[in-house]
Structure 1
Amino acid sequence: MWLLVLLMWFLVWAGGTYWYLFGKPSPFSLESVRPPGPLELDREKRSKILKQGFRKEKVPENLDAIVIGSGIGGMTAAATLAKLGKRVLVLEQHDQAGGCCHTFTEKGFEFDVGLHYIGQLHENSLFKIIMDQITEGQLQFVELDKHFDTLVIGSGEKIRKYTIYSGKTEMEEHLKAQFPDDTKAVEEFFKIMKISASKTHLLAALKLIPQWMALFLLKSGIADLCSSIFHLVGTNATAVANSLTSNKDLHIIFNYFFYGVPPKQSSSVINLLMLHHYKRGAYYPKGGASEIPFHIAKVIQKYGGRVLVRAPVNHILVNSKGAAYDTTASARISACLVDISSWMTAHQLKLNPSKTELLIIPGVTVKKDQEDVEVQAPVIISNCGVFNTFQKLLPAHIQTKPEIQKRVNMMRPGRGCLLVFSGFDATQEGLGINSTNTWLFKSNDMDAMMDEFFSMGKDEAPDNIPMMYLTFPSAKDPTSKIRHPGKSCMTMLLMVKYEWFEEWKDAPVRKRGDDYLAYKMRFANNAFDWACSQFPKLRDKLVFQEVSTPLSNAHYLGSYLGAMYSAEQNLERFQVEAMARNRCDTPVKNLFISGQDVFSSGIAGALHGGLLCASTVLKHIVYIDLLMLKKKLKRKKASGADEQVKKRL
């Protein structure tokens, strides 16, 4: 008898598991990917997609979900839901969609804001498959030179230059050639990188399996027996570098992707994954970074949804039970329930109050012409960051709840970011530039540099920039010569403290006064002088310059305290228990989190945040669909190769 019960239980469990993993319809298919069409250069047609202003009458009826913020994380979640026939509305507070993927044009120069290059877009890679699916094959990429990054350490006579090459084996071999005395350290570094890259899915799984199960696996030690990734992700990057070599220049190369956190406070796995991301090549969107939101928005619109801009969400409406809801709908339902209750009382029937909660509809309010416009949908996805979501959009009485405070306290606000956009009246040949990115460091001790810089006062910081990234978007995109002939542009990026600019935070944008302009130009001038030390021809051809500070990022991108990389990517955040608890669902029913605060920073991190969010909302792991699709593509390629062999024979 007991054996029969056990067998029945096992069959039910196995059947339920199979249905959960494979029994639901997939949002992805080979048939949805079409050959890319011609590049759309008509600004008016592009504006109809990327700059469609919010009006109540433009909101589709019977929405299935609302996404707050049009960054890559929110757009990925929206497109995934849309491809299952869901009507999704994306609301963007800026005047164009895209978040950090948007571009802007000034004086004939086009600048990218947050996307500078992407990796892992080689044939049949999972990231390439994802991009093809959410744009239905319309997004095209240009592969950059194999020499995709240059690192310059020191200054004057003590300057050292190192080059980073892409390639499955070339990256490691080229690095060993530059550090012949540290070949063993380089080999070990790439072994650890391989482990990190091949086991990252286990970290993502912590956010998809039930939380109790994830915590049990971690606390019992079972997870550590399965893979070293669970220990490695909580180990700081400096400790790993020190264990491999004492060569400080090599330390910089192991951890040169800076995002506001010194290596001693960052996860070694995240730093390893950043370099591994470009191992099979670095790429740039053909037509510029805004091609990404342009094509994703078209997919969302194709399935009945919409992406609307100039739509600042100022409230997520929450009921007394702690679920997101719409007040107008709730009022109407309450009135209706009163009538129903009266009728049932008259007929000696009783209404079960616990069931009324099921009738409440979620919603948000959008600020439009000094009025709050309510928009309803059963699911709310926030892509505007943990701090904005929990400390600005939720009602005050919900913000103070212990479960909300606990979630907020798991993270710290990220560092601010300063960008210098420069335009030149010259071609890339005339300036001697190419698609290679340049990273500049004053010394080879990144921990000491960052500690010293961020401990400085407001007045001394502009004259003591310790590190900088510079890139030439116009040299990466071959269509730039057609769209902006005879012009070149450069973007420089620095990490800064929000507090240095805080005194001007209440002043209107572009009207913050001469003191603000002079202060940010001190950063810009010092950064430009440093760039000219590497590219001397820039100085005489400069005709335009604009500086974006953390205040600009907060205004245009809606980023909390001007942090382009959202919440700080510190070591505490990547402790495995913290990763298991930091999930897409929230203490507020029907409210979900997407983007960089879910898994990690950057375009790839935000995109995976969107996929994790879509999986949570759908209660279906969409990564399994992508892996199945990858196998189909592999078989299709093998079948095509067999056909070609047969024809030749």
Structure 2
Amino acid sequence: MKEYDLIIIGGGITGLSTAIAWLKTHPKENNRVLIVEQHSIVGGCVTTFAREGYRFDTAQIIPDISELLDFFGIETVLKKFDDYYARIYIADPVKKNATIFSVPSLKARFIKYLKQLSPDDSRNIDQFFKFLEEMHHELHYLKTEPNFLNILNILIHCPKIIRLRKKTYDQFLRRFNFKNKILYEVLDLFSSFSGLSAERCSALLTASALNTTLEGSYRPVNGFIQFPQIMRKKIESMGGEIRTQAMVKKIIIENNTATAIELSDGTRYHARYIVTTADTKVSLLRLVGIENLKAADKHYAQKADRVAMSPSSFFIHLGIDEALDLKKLGFDCGYNVLTTGGDTFEKMYRAFDKDELLLSDSLFHCGVVCPSLKTGGKPVISIHVVPASVNGWIDLRERDREQYHKKKQNIADHYIRLVEQYMIPGLQQNIRFIDINTPATFARFLNSPTGSNFDMMPVPSNFGMYRLKMRTPIKNLFLPKFSNGIWPSMQAGIQVVDMITGGAIMSGNSRYSVQKKS
């Protein structure tokens, strides 16, 4: 039976980052690392697929990750969005038109833009960004596992983080009393990246995302799949092993200690430490088992059982005829949001709470991107619709494939029509290819019972200090779930190795930084 120093379940960005961080910080005799991945390729949620000559990415935008790339020792070519970072289309269903708000790249330009939108709010805007800047500085004091003295230090030096820890992003915005409601609409853009409405998303998450995104936003030139491909080569060049098409059946627990994993074919691998990056519910309730968790820590088991998972979604990928001039329409920015504004996104979530999908011509919210204008290739458009419940979709796909295809096509047609009406005239007649991902697609490919796109839901009660702990009550078993996105996933990989090694990389700090890594 083969033994390893570290086994990592899942070959997504978090798993790959964990492997590189371990291999960088351990001598050759202690760096026997194995990644076990269920699919034929690594990458998880971060990948690129090609159909009929069209290339589609499953991820869209990343902030500046140069420090992390330097740490991992990998190089890749990124293209920066120098002009406009995003655009927001506020649709008027009565007039059948939309007002466009273009969000400039870089913070200084964005602040200037907000003041142009609402000169009477100049002071409030300055206070908002001053708060963000000071809060961002406070992040350097945070520890992944703070001791008593660390907690005292955090209480002294992190008043803004303490103040926001239980707040939603909407509650955070409201405290600045902006006079012009348009500012709320524009700033609400950043909650879209969490896949949650501003009324639900953690203020800490969205405020941090706003800060990092405005420093610069990028796309990889050769598709997002280049990240996992480059990371895999790095791991293998350092002596790490990656086994693909291997499904983990369970994590072996002996005397409250994780000692091995067992695959679906019965193969077992032993390790000193096990890191699972699989879906949280699958990792803890299925692979570990709720009874093992309860025996170790009943409160942790209860939280794991209760924790809400993020919703699933629909991803509508379109191959477009080159005759349609998308650049002229301004689609060379990083991200576009089409919405009827106000509390539309929250109303969609209320429908989601009842396992319903809100399909309406008067209330809608979706993301629309055209990455080919930035990175080249045949023109493509991707429409992202969230939230969506998995309930009914898996059963329908297995029971009646014809009806399944008909239902998902009806949903795609609805959103394509809305995008054509408010954003891209002539879209339907220029579609040459269509691929539709449903909640059943995500459930299948991510091995997630809920088809969750972002794992645990980043609500205030499960973010930051309240998040399900990375160090599980099962000895030598770790669950690195920092946040969703490439940057947080890379951070999570470094965090967990730093935790196992007693601070060998970051001295226990919660985030890797060249200026503050010791």
Deviation at 1:428, TM superposition (A): 7.4
The one of 271, 279, 284 aligned to 2:206: 271
* Matched residue, 2:145: 208
Q: Does 1:97 align with 2:42?
A: yes
Calculate percent identity across the aligned residue pairs.
21
Tell me what 2:60 maps to: 116
From the two aligned structures, give the one with the greater strand fraction.
2
Structure 1 Cα separation of the partners of residues 400 and 57 of structure 2: 24
- Shift in Å, 1:225: 6.0
**1:141: how far off?**
0.9
Distance 2:39 2:92 in 1: 40
Q: Distance in 1 between matches of 2:354 and 2:132?
A: 34
Partner of 1:489: 380
User: Secondary structure at 1:408's aligned position in 2?
Assistant: helix
Q: Distance in 2 between matches of 1:79 and 1:225?
A: 32
Return the offset for 1:243.
Answer: 2.2
**Within-5 A mapping of 1:34-53:** none
Offset at residue 629 of structure 1 (A): 8.2
CA–CA distance in structure 2, aligned partners of residues 554 and 459 of structure 1: 17
Deviation at 1:77, TM superposition (A): 1.0
**Is the CA contact 2:345–2:365 (under 8 Å) kept in the aligned structure 1?**
no
Distance 1:101 1:460 in 2: 27
* Counterpart contact for 1:224–1:231, Cα < 8 Å: no
Task: Give the aligned partner of residue 138 of structure 2.
Answer: 199
Structure-2 separation of matches of 1:429 and 1:170: 27
Which of 434, 441, 444 is residue 342 of structure 2 equivalent to? 444
Structure 1 residues 295 and 457: alpha-carbon distance in aligned structure 2, compared to 1, 3 A threshold:
closer
1:524-550 per-position Cα deviation (integer Å, ceiling 9, x unaligned): 111111222312243222111111112
Give the aligned length: 502
The residue aligned with 1:107 is 52
Residue pair 1:462, 1:523 contacting (<8 A) in 2 also: no
Aligned to 2:90: 153
> Of the candidates 221, 236, 247, which is equivalent to residue 301 of structure 1?
236
Does structure 2 conserve the Cα–Cα contact (< 8 Å) formed by 1:317 and 1:395? no
Of Structure 1 and Structure 2, the greater helix share is in: 1
Give, as a single letter, the amino acid of the residue that structure 2 aligns with 1:87. R
Match of 1:272, SS state, is: helix
State the distance in 2 between where 1:622 and 1:428 align.
Answer: 50
Given candidates 256, 263, 277, the residue that maps to 1:322 is 256
Matched ranges for 1:365-380 at <5 A: 365-367=262-264, 371-380=265-274
The 1:417–1:448 alpha-carbon spacing in structure 2 relative to 1, beyond 3 Å, is closer
Secondary structure, counterpart of 2:4 in structure 1: coil
Partners of 2:220 and 2:449 in 1: CA distance: 27
Q: What residue is the counterpart of 1:180 in the other structure?
A: 119
| Gapped regions of structure 2 (runs ≥ 5) | none
Given candidates 411, 417, 422, the residue that maps to 2:318 is: 422
* Residue type at the aligned position of 1:571: P
For the 8 Å contact 1:463–1:523, the answer to whether it is kept is no
Uncovered stretches (5+) of structure 1, i.e. residues with no partner: 1-55, 122-126, 325-361, 482-486, 633-649
Q: Which residue of 1 aligns with 2:277?
A: 383
Partners of 1:87 and 1:303 within 8 A in 2: no
What residue identity is the alignment partner of 1:299? K
2:25 to 56, 80, 84: 84
Do the aligned partners of 2:114 and 2:183 also contact (CA within 8 Å) in 1? Answer: no
Indicate the SS of the match to 2:135.
helix
What does residue 412 of structure 1 align with?
308
What's the CA shift for 1:111?
A: 1.1
Match of 1:354 in 2: none
Decide whether aligned partners of structure 1 residues 72 and 412 sit closer, same or farther in structure 2, where only a CA change above 3 A counts: same
Post-superposition shift, 1:184? Answer: 2.0
Aligned in 2, Cα 1:94/1:508: closer, same or farther, shift over 3 Å? Answer: farther
Give how far 1:224 is off: 5.2
2: CA distance, partners of 1:496 / 1:447: 9
- Post-superposition shift, 1:431? 6.5
CA 1:89–1:276 in structure 2 vs 1: closer, same or farther (change >3 Å)? same
Q: Determine the structure 2 residue equivalent to 1:128.
A: 66
Equivalent position SS for 1:562: coil
Choose from 380, 403, 418 the match for 1:515: 403
Could you tell me whether the CA contact under 8 Å between 2:48 and 2:56 is conserved in 1? yes
Question: Are residues 512 and 623 of structure 1, via their aligned partners in 2, closer, same or farther at CA, if it must alter by over 3 Å?
Answer: farther
SS at match of 2:506: helix
Within a 5 Å distance, the mapping from 1:553-564 to structure 2 comes to 553-564=442-453
TM score, norm. by length of structure 2 = 0.89
Question: In structure 2, do the counterparts of structure 1 residues 623 and 427 end up closer, same or farther at CA, with 3 Å as the change threshold?
Answer: farther
Q: Secondary structure at the match of 1:278?
A: helix
**Which residue in the other structure is 1:647 paired with?**
none
The 2-side partners of 1:473 and 1:196 are apart by 32
- Which deviations, in whole Å up to 9, do the C-alpha atoms of 1:222-246 show, x marking residues without a partner? 7156532111232222222222214
Residue 400 to residue 130, structure 1, CA distance change in 2 (3 Å): same
Q: State the match for 1:552 in structure 2.
A: 441
Amino acid of the residue matched to residue 56 of structure 2? F
SS of the residue 1:434 aligns to: coil
Contact 1:297 1:306 in 2 (8 A): no
Residue aligning to 1:287? 222
The structure-2 alpha-carbon separation of the partners of 1:90 and 1:508, relative to structure 1 and needing over 3 Å to count, comes to: farther
Q: How does 1:24-39 map to 2 (within 5 A)?
A: none
Distance in 1 between residues matched to 2:350 and 2:322, nearest whole Å: 38
Cα-Cα RMSD: 2.9
Q: Is the 8 A contact 2:38 2:244 kept in 1?
A: yes
